[in-house]
Amino acid sequence: MIIVSEETCTKIIDRASAFTAVEQVFAAMARGDAYNFPVIREAIGHAEALYGFKSGFDRAGLVLGLKSGGYWPGNMAKGLTNHQSTVFLFDPDTGRPKAMVGGNYLTALRTAAASSVSIKHLARKDSKVLGMVGAGHQSAFQLRAATEQMDFERIVGWNYHPEMLPRIADTAKEIGLPFEAVSLEELGAQADVIITITSSQNASVLKDYIKPGTHLACMGTDTKGKQEVSADLVAAARLFTDEVAQSISIGECQHAIAAGLIQESDITPIGAVINGDHSGRQSEDEITLFDGTGVGLQDLAVAAAAVTRALEMGHAVEVDI
Ligand code: NAD
């Protein structure tokens, strides 16, 4: 079995490889070549932890495995990140364990890759202003990945906790783009593309704030009860997602579904756009919204890419089990 440590992952896998892996697996999902198994997530009654696993099989890429981990709220005090995960890959021909890969850094990379895949395929090609809603751990990854898919000229940002905004200001500076902290209303009026990446339980981004032609990548809502944008904004947009079953149950679309404003059939898997089976954005004026709920196959795809890179670069540790 090959072991690729968390630290090695940060050295060997780049945003371009993560982008390609995620784009390909979304396409495979839409073709029916790859599928996610039901997600398990449990409060384990210890250390206030939420533990679970996401698993799946990509028959096209021959990637079988799971990501296991969750949320340990006391970790920060121990000098660890609260979100912890590890990916296990298996040989689909024999069931033998193939690799164990650190999943923390890869989770951030694959989540950012998902929103940037949506920007490539759904945003207007003349988009110039990127709006960031959220300034937590994921936000810097999102910002870097998005600016590699579109020639943005400036970044505007808002966060519920304004003291966290320097994270995106500093990242924008490193990328070489001007950044301005603005109100949500100003953000909606200026941004051509908006990424939401918060753990909010209530809508921050309202329909009236958003101008025609905007693309929204809603990435923070991955659990029942979370919400970043208003249900009427979701209903006004042309909707895309990684996986429809998750979008309507744990994703941003859950609220518009519950309110009866949209139906499951209104939501298109983004893989269909990547495959050319759906034409994506229909006009320069329509609002497009990608509901990025986060699927196990994204983790497996990026972990498989990390194993390949680790072997190529001589960074993989091999053990007999
Ligand atoms: P973080 O804890 O580092 O940051 C949290 C962010 O949410 C900050 O911007 C914070 O200001 C904001 N926030 C907190 N409470 C809020 C409130 N009441 N109203 C509005 N904003 C609030 O988290 P992170 O690692 O950056 O992750 C952000 C979100 O993305 C989380 O909800 C996480 O579960 C989700 N996530 C989704 C995926 C996916 O695949 N879709 C993957 C990873 C993380």
Residues 290 and 306 in one domain: no
Token duo for residue 81? 């990140």
* 293 touches ligand 1 (CB under 6 Å): yes
Domain count, the chain: 2
CB atoms within 10 A of CB 239: 21
Residues 186 and 313 in one domain: no
- Classify residue 112: in a domain, yes or no: no
Choose which residue among 198, 290, 299 to substitute to test ligand 1 binding: the one with the highest number of ligand atoms within 8 A of its C-beta: 198
Q: 139 falls in which pLDDT band (50, 70, 90)?
A: very high
pLDDT greater than 90 at residue 321: no
3-state secondary structure of 9: helix
- Using the mean position of ligand 1's atoms as its centre, give its distance from the Cα of residue 226 in Å: 10
Comparing 190 with 321, the larger pLDDT belongs to 190
Token duo for residue 299? 């983790």
Q: Which ligand 1 atom lies nearest to the CA of residue 251?
A: 41
Residues 138 and 287 in one domain: yes
Of 207, 227, 215, 202, give the one whose Cα is nearest residue 293: 227
Residues 134 and 99 in one domain: no
* 220 touches ligand 1 (CB under 6 Å): yes
pLDDT greater than 90 at residue 266: yes
Residues 236 and 195 in one domain: yes
CA distance 195 to 198: 10
Residues 287 and 187 in one domain: yes
Q: What is the mean pLDDT of residues 7-13?
A: 95
pLDDT greater than 90 at residue 189: yes
Residues 202 and 314 in one domain: no
Residues 275 and 135 in one domain: yes
Share of the chain above pLDDT 70, in %: 100
Q: What's the pLDDT at 150?
A: 97
Kindly report the protein residue whose alpha carbon is nearest to atom 30 of ligand 1: 220
- Classify residue 117: in a domain, yes or no: no
- Name the residue range of residue 78's domain: 2-107+297-318
Q: What's the pLDDT at 205?
A: 98
Of 226, 224, 232, give the one whose Cα is nearest residue 289: 232
Question: What pLDDT digit, counting tens, does each position of 225-257 carry?
Answer: 999 999 999 999 999 999 999 999 999 999 999
* 292 touches ligand 1 (CB under 6 Å): yes
Q: What is the mean pLDDT of residues 75-86?
A: 94
Residues 207 and 273 in one domain: yes
Q: What is the mean pLDDT of residues 253-270?
A: 98
Active site residue 128: no
- Using the mean position of ligand 1's atoms as its centre, give its distance from the Cα of residue 199 in Å: 3
Average pLDDT, the chain: 97
pLDDT greater than 90 at residue 284: yes
Q: What is the mean pLDDT of residues 8-37?
A: 96
